[in-house]
């Protein structure tokens, strides 16, 4: 199940034309919940290392590891206290280096997570800023402002934190008096950096270099669209009655001149980062997390000389029906084509309700904002898993790369009934216990059918797993590994097939131009990629599930007319459409 045997993958990767990242499948390792090597209930580097063979066997090209730096963990590691070391609960710097080397030996690239919008309030810079007082160079690295009102007792403006409440906190000055306010677009323990300060820019280039020199192949950039703020800091003037909604993580930056999201000034920063990355052989790579308002705004981050790739979250918010899937794919492909960048398709991550649950809901779409409880009826996980299979094949069949979130290969659903006392997402406290936050997609992985945390580690994990994940018929790797009908087998087959098809040249070049939509009926998403590949999937909006076993995945020659009407998915190398008219 978790063999670490050497695989032929490095050779396969080397044989592929073009830069590896343009069509890579990257697996997101949420370190806290992937595997616990030392039995303290928290995932760690030793745990990841023990399961790298599983990832190579699964057939992915790269891993992205969520922040592993020293951190008070106020936001699960996105509150970094030292960017050049490892959180002791996760391991040591030597462990990190050994992991990178081991992954490379298995043909897996390693992407790390850089958090440039904010540090932890326990970062030495912020500690120094508090001690140094107003006007000091240390304060200029963050966004301190005097308050409004007679005694400066009111926040400098009306901005709201993503996790709830005002985006400002007042500090006590070294002389003991109430003083300035600092900006935190997320938790108060995550003060925003001032990217107009040249020392901030130099420092992050140096941090990137630190990890590149240790073998990291690239970085995922946290809140890539948030670094630059309008120095005038104008009021947003838009409030949700609950005082929570502005800014949203999803659906953000809908204003054309938003004072803190997606400002033009961020692009200059990424040009310097790309230049640094291109100085390595092979060049290092970036993927941006940028929640912006349109595919065109996203593509602006990928112009020549800027970032290589960015997550495309549009399938996350697209309703599950053929028309919307086609429209979403087309607009993303065209926008990315315009800058010569590949799309990076995403269905789930550690901030978003798992897609088995989203797609199993009657209206089959995500909440508009992942941090808000926005349920639209009970989820049917059986329906959700069927749709998840089709969704995976759609992602894998489209030109570009794919990011998988750990556990989606097991068909894990969102754990929506975690007891309130275990919730750790800062959203829970900041929303005064009205928003449960993102813990439901962060529950530790089930590796075995039994044990204190189903093989996650020797002790119960930091969040409890549902009983239904255990047992011989459960969702653990052990329960699924030898079952040809399981979700895990489906992922393995699909990933192998994609790699084989690419190696045979059946997928042709990427981009919208290589793809022709086929009209095979109202609820069918179908397209051909030249020279020899067709993807057909059933994407009806109705809740009627397909009969069990009808989800098909095949490769090889097929005759015209061989597509059964109730087939949900075919992938074929040499299938030609019946006389149906081709739609562009
Ligand atoms: C996006 C990350 O994915 C999320 O987990 C985190 O809370 C925020 N950025 C703040 O760093």
Q: Which pLDDT tens digit goes with each residue over 564-576?
A: 444 445 555 444 4
Cβ 57 vs Cβ 493: under 8 Å: no
75-89, 384-398, 404-418, 560-574: lowest mean pLDDT where? 560-574
**In a 10 Å sphere around its CB, with 0-12 CB exposed, 13-18 middle and 19+ buried, how is residue 213 labelled?**
exposed
pLDDT category at 320 given cuts 50, 70, 90 is confident
CA of residue 28 to ligand 1 center, whole Å: 14
Is the pLDDT assigned to residue 306 strictly greater than 70? yes
Give the distance (Å) from ligand 1 centre to CA of residue 350. 9
Indicate the range of 10-14, 211-215, 391-395, 457-461 predicted with least confidence. Answer: 10-14
Does any ligand 1 atom lie closer than 6 A to the CB of residue 351? Answer: yes
Which amino acid residue places its CA nearest to atom 6 of ligand 1?
A: 78
For residues 96 and 84, is the Cβ–Cβ distance under 8 A?
A: no
E-only strand ranges, 279-431:
285-288, 309-312, 344-346, 401-405
Closest CA to 487 of 538, 411, 428: 411
DSSP state of 21: G
Q: Is there a catalytic annotation at residue 206?
A: no
Q: What is the CA radius of gyration of the chain?
A: 24
pLDDT of 168: 98
Kindly name the residue from 158, 289, 413, 478 that is annotated as catalytic.
289
Query: CA-to-CA distance for 62 and 406, rounded, in angstroms?
Result: 12
Ligand 1 geometric centre to CA of 78 (Å): 6
Q: Can you list the positions of beta strands (E) in 185-231?
A: 218-221
| Confidence band of 3 (pLDDT split at 50, 70, 90) | very low
Comparing 175-189, 312-326, 483-497, 563-577, the range with the smallest average pLDDT is: 563-577
Count of other CB atoms within 10 angstroms of residue 508: 17
Max mean pLDDT range (234-248, 450-464, 499-513): 450-464
Show Cβ contacts of residue 206 under 8 Å, excluding neighbours closer than 6 positions.
Answer: none
Any idea what the Cα angle at residue 393 is, between residues 306 and 67, rounded to 5°? 45
Q: Indicate the range of 44-48, 74-78, 219-223, 255-259 predicted with least confidence.
A: 255-259
**DSSP class of residue 192?**
B
Distance CA 385, CA 478 (A): 19
The per-residue pLDDT for 386 is: 83
Mean pLDDT lowest among 80-84, 292-296, 475-479, 521-525 = 521-525
pLDDT at residue 192 in the model:
98
Task: Report the pLDDT value the prediction gives residue 581, as an integer from 0 to 100.
Answer: 39
- Tell me the C-alpha distance between 216 and 109, whole Å: 8
Taking the C-alpha atoms of residue 527 and residue 227, their distance in angstroms, rounded to an integer, is 39
Q: What is the pLDDT of residue 512?
A: 85
Q: Measured between alpha carbons, how far is 237 from 540 in angstroms, rounded to an integer?
A: 41
Nearest to 20 by CA among 55, 67, 61: 61
111 Cβ neighbours under 8 A, 6+ residues apart: 26, 62, 63, 64, 65, 216, 217, 218, 219, 220, 285, 287
Nearest CA to ligand 1 atom 2: 222
Give pLDDT, residue 153: 97
DSSP label at residue 439: G
Whether residue 223 has its Cβ less than 6 Å from ligand 1: yes
Using alpha carbons, select from 529, 545, 536 the residue that is nearest to residue 567: 536
Residue pair 273/284 in contact by the 8 Å Cβ criterion: no
8 A C-beta contact, residue 378 and residue 416: no
- pLDDT over 80 at 251, yes or no: no
Q: Whose CA is nearest to atom 11 of ligand 1?
A: 78
Find residue 524's DSSP bridge partners.
Answer: 538
Centre of ligand 1 to C-alpha 369, Å, is: 13
**Does ligand 1 have an atom closer than 6 angstroms to the CB of 273?**
no
Q: Please state the φ and ψ torsions of residue 51, each to the nearest 5 degrees.
A: -120, 10
Name the residue at shortest CA distance from atom 4 of ligand 1: 351
* Cβ–Cβ under 8 Å, residues 236 and 277: no
Which pair of tokens denotes residue 451?
Answer: 């044990």
The token pair that represents 156 in the structure block: 């400098």
SS3 state of residue 64: strand
Per the prediction, the chain carries an average pLDDT of 87
Placement of tokens 């995976």 in the chain = 392
> Residue 584: pLDDT above 50?
no
Is residue 161 packed enough to be buried (19+ CB in 10 Å), middle (13-18) or exposed (0-12)?
buried
Q: Which atom of ligand 1 is nearest to the CA of 349?
A: 3
Listed range (134-143, 308-317, 493-502) with the worst mean pLDDT: 493-502
The tokens for 64 are 């992205």
Alpha-helical (H) ranges within 227-321 are 266-278, 295-299, 314-317
Q: Is 289 considered catalytic here? A: yes
Residue 347 to residue 441: CA distance in whole angstroms: 12
Mean pLDDT calculated for residue range 11-31? 79
Dihedral sign (CA 457, 386, 354, 312):
positive
Window from 35-44, 491-500, 536-545 with minimum mean pLDDT: 536-545
Whether 229 shows a pLDDT value over 60: the answer reads yes
**494: nearest Cα among 448, 535, 526, 445:** 535
Q: How far is ligand 1, taken at its centre, from the CA of residue 540, in Å?
A: 33
CA 535 – CA 565 distance, rounded (Å): 14
Q: Pocket of ligand 1, candidates 32, 67, 73, 75: which has the most ligand atoms within 8 Å of its Cβ, to mutate?
A: 75
Q: pTM for the whole thing?
A: 0.92
Ligand 1 atom showing the smallest separation from residue 163 Cα: 7
Q: Is 348 a residue whose pLDDT tops 80?
A: yes
Angle formed by the axes of helices 381-397 and 487-504, nearest 10°: 10
Q: How confident is the model at residue 247 (pLDDT cuts 50, 70, 90)?
A: very low
pLDDT of residue 278: 98
Query: What is the rounded CA–CA span in Å between residue 126 and residue 79?
Result: 12
Asked if residue 28 has pLDDT above 60, the reply is yes
Percent with pLDDT over 90 in the chain: 67
State what percent of residues in the chain have pLDDT above 70: 84
Is residue 582 over pLDDT 60? no
Strand partners, 536: 526, 570
Residue 210 to residues 84, 217, 279, 281, 469, Cα–Cα distance (Å) = 7, 12, 14, 16, 40
CA-nearest of 196, 197, 198, 258 to 225 is 258
- Which has the closest alpha carbon to 58: 532, 459, 392? 392
Average the pLDDT over 161-189 and give the result.
Answer: 96
Q: Is the pLDDT of residue 11 over 50?
A: no
* Mean pLDDT on 443-468: 98
What 3-state DSSP class applies to 502? helix
How does residue 255 score in pLDDT terms, banded at 50, 70 and 90? low
Residue nearest to atom 3 of ligand 1 (CA): 351
Q: 150 pLDDT exceeds 70?
A: yes
Of the two residues 389 and 280, the one the predictor is more confident about is 280
Task: Kindly give the distance from the C-alpha atom of residue 249 to the centroid of ligand 1, in angstroms, as a whole number.
Answer: 9
Is residue 477 within 8 Å of residue 484, measured between CB atoms? no
Are residues 430 and 163 in contact, defined by beta-carbon separation less than 8 angstroms?
yes
């Amino acid at each position: 199940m978790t063999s670490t045997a050497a695989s032929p993958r490095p050779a396969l990767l080397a044989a592929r034309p073009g830069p590896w990242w343009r069509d890579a499948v990257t697996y997101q390792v949420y370190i806290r919940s992937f595997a616990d090597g030392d039995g303290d209930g928290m995932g760690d580097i030793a745990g990841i290392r023990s399961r790298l063979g599983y990832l190579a066997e699964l057939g992915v090209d790269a891993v992205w590891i969520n922040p592993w730096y020293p951190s008070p963990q106020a936001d699960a590691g996105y509150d970094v206290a030292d960017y050049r070391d490892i959180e002791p609960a996760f391991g040591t710097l030597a462990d990190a280096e050994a992991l990178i080397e081991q992954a490379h030996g298995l043909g897996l690239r390693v992407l790390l997570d850089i958090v440039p919008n904010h540090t932890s309030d326990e970062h030495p810079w912020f500690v120094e800023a508090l001690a140094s007082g107003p006007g000091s160079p240390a304060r200029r690295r963050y966004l301190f402002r005097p308050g409004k009102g007679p005694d400066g007792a009111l926040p400098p403006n009306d901005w709201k934190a993503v996790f709830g409440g005002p985006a400002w906190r007042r500090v006590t000055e070294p002389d003991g008096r109430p003083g300035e306010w600092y900006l935190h677009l997320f938790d108060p323990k995550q003060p925003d950096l001032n990217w107009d300060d040249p020392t901030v820019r130099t420092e992050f280039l140096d941090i990137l270099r630190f990890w590149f020199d240790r073998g990291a192949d690239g970085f995922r950039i946290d809140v890539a669209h948030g670094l630059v703020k309008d120095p005038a800091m104008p009021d947003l003037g838009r409030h949700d009655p609950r005082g929570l909604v502005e800014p949203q993580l999803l659906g953000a930056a809908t204003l054309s001149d938003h004072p803190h999201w997606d400002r033009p000034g961020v692009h200059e920063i990424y040009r310097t980062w790309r230049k640094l990355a291109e100085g390595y052989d092979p060049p290092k790579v970036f993927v941006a997390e940028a929640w912006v308002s349109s595919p065109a705004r996203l593509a602006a981050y990928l112009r020549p000389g800027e970032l290589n790739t960015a997550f495309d979250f549009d399938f996350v918010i697209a309703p599950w029906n053929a028309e919307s899937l086609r429209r979403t794919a087309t607009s993303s492909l065209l926008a990315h084509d315009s800058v010569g960048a590949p799309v990076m398709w995403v269905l789930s991550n550690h901030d978003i309700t798992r897609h088995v649950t989203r797609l199993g809901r009657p209206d089959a779409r995500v909440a508009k904002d992942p941090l808000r409880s926005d349920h639209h009826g009970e989820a049917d996980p059986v329906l959700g898993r069927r749709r998840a299979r089709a969704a995976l094949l759609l992602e894998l069949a489209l030109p570009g790369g794919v990011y998988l979130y750990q556990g989606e290969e097991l068909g894990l659903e969102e754990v929506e009934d975690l007891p309130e006392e275990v919730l750790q997402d800062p959203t829970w406290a900041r929303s005064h216990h009205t928003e449960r936050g993102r813990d439901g997609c962060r529950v530790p992985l089930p590796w075995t059918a039994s044990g204190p945390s189903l093989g996650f580690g020797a002790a119960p994990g930091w969040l409890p797993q549902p009983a239904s994940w255990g047992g011989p018929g459960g969702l653990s790797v052990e329960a699924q590994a030898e079952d040809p009908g399981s979700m895990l087998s489906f992922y393995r087959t699909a990933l192998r097939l994609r790699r084989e098809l690419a190696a045979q040249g059946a997928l042709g070049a990427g981009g919208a131009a290589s793809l022709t939509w086929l009209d095979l009926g109202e609820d069918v998403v179908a397209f051909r990629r030249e020279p020899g590949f067709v993807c057909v999937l059933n994407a009806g909006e109705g809740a009627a599930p397909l009969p069990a076993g009808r989800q098909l995945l095949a490769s090889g020659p097929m005759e015209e007319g061989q597509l059964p009407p109730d087939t949900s998915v075919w992938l074929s190398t040499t299938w030609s459409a019946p006389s149906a008219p081709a739609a562009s």
